[in-house]
Chain A
């Protein structure tokens, strides 16, 4: 068995006095699409943000593609990799946010090519064809010269996805990519994510879209109170939730 793309073990995270993650363990294999569901405040976003070092954990360990981002020794000392390694490891993960976080002063195309040029040192003529291909893929090639403020929410999110893909990540993290969108715009974004799934991109998707989780995810993780209560193949979990709180949550959602 190949090593997992993401391997988080016993991750704890506290904000001041509040323990937000209480020993979260999850391994994600190459090509898996894992949906993370759970009530508001259960720690879904925080867990995702710990994986790419937007938050630092207080205990536990995280390996990305076999490389240690952070580890905790037997006597409880939590130690991160050196800064340069952290940056290198985290670059393998792309992230898409609920509120897009596009750069408003740049055009759509500039948003997509900014990091490849600034971070990877690519020349414009090396990255522009690839950026255009990505924009075509998300259906926004004709808007490449627009600024984000001229786009709809669904279009913004598709640009954000193209922007993340331009860095050629091995893993994509999505934090409620459709929650800020009008209901009629969620479909176009979910379609883009589904296409990525078909190309076997490894993905971790925090979502409130149960239909999407059921159809696209290979596995669904239910989080509550900073813990993973259930992590099972999508069909199984939706058909017969084991944990009473999963059952209650799903009944509420449907």
Chain B
């Protein structure tokens, strides 16, 4: 018990880092994903295929590679050449990567809406932007809650990848103690912390799903 109290401090600190990376990445990547999806389904064929290529690149290479690239290789890329500290580098990698996944979720959602909804809105005089904002996206949002929930929980766990940038997130903090004290206890505590975080998210998404259950379709 004493031991637990002693290790909880560093583990909580690690949890703080994990939560920060998760929250910032989530808040930024969802709108970016939505924007990408809107371009993807727009009538601008060139922009749409650019987004398509971007999604292919982001989903087709390991997130860890992307993170290492942004942290270590970006400074040497001509023109862009910026050196990011570890925290912003991690955020940029997560946002760029997860926006691609969220974009695919939004795209599938948008394309699942019946064409009649667009026509119904159009004959009432709504513009394309108004149709999207008032008619299509509210329905999309309801439909994509389950896959969005999935992806969000994956993001929580993926934050552990930042150990490659030597950042002290929850998992790295736990591993540090394990190696120092030769006990697996910190891993158990870390697992409990991850479970708690994903439980909160699961409940939050369940709440949203229930709230939107007032209508079918």
Task: Enumerate chain A interface residues (CB-CB to B < 8 A).
Answer: 52, 54, 87, 90-91, 93-95, 97, 99-105, 114-115, 118-120, 147-149, 163-164, 167
Contact = CB atoms under 8 A, between A and B. Distances in A.
Given A54-B123, A119-B124, A147-B214, 5 more contacts: A94-B124, A95-B123, A101-B120, A102-B120, A148-B215
A162 to B, nearest CB: 12
Given A115-B125, A119-B126, A97 B119 contact: yes
Contacts of A149: 215-217
A100 B217 CA distance: 14
A118 B130 contact: yes
Interface in B172-217: 214-217
B138 interface: yes
A19 B217 CA distance: 36
B157 interface: no
B139 A104 contact: yes
Contacts, number: 66
If over half of B's interface residues share one DSSP class (helix, strand or loop), that class is named, otherwise mixed; here it is: helix
User: Among A102, A104, A114, which residue has the most Cβ atoms of chain B within 10 A?
Assistant: A104
Contacts of A147: 214-216
Contact of A52 (B114, B123, B134): B123
Interface string B101-122: 0000000000000101101111
B125 A97 contact: no
Closest 6 pairs between A and B when the two form their complex, measured CB to CB: A101-B120, A115-B124, A104-B217, A101-B116, A147-B215, A95-B123
Interface of B: 114, 116-117, 119-127, 130, 134-135, 138-139, 142, 214-217
B139 A105 contact: yes
Nearest to A91: B125
Contacts of A99: 116
A248 B134 CA distance: 47
Contact of A167 (B114, B125, B142): B125
A164 B126 CA distance: 12
A48 to B, nearest CB: 11
B126 A118 contact: yes
Contacts of B142: 105
Contacts of B124: 94, 114-115, 119, 163-164, 167
